[in-house]
Structure 1
Amino acid sequence: NSFDKLTALECAFHFDTREDFFAEAFRVLQPGGRLAIADCLPRVGREINFWLRV
């Protein structure tokens, strides 16, 4: 409960599950705090193949 705002930029993939990511985010947020997330979410097909090669 240390922060009133949290920005997560392309970091959720470091967690084993989405649930783990959100659990940690809400653990450090104060009640009523704000979470802003930005991440890459490739679509299926050729675009996802590009991300798998990187």
Structure 2
Amino acid sequence: MIRIVFIVCAIIAATYLLSRIVRELRGADVDWRGVAFAFGFVAIAVYLRHTTEIGGIG
């Protein structure tokens, strides 16, 4: 029962934070090209780490 309450609270907190972030991004002047570049860089790094098994911690 406690586990269910904790999960529900975590979901409510995540939804609240996501809605706040979306609300802030709508009003802000965001450089979407920079955001896309950063996301792409991280995605390629994760893909190459998975493919080559070189790098990372451990």
Fold match by TM threshold 0.5: no
Higher strand share: 1
TM-score computed with the length of structure 2 as normaliser: 0.25
Structure index of larger Rg: 2
TM-score computed with the length of structure 1 as normaliser: 0.25
Relative contact order, higher structure (CA 8 A, sep 6+): 1
Higher helix share: 2
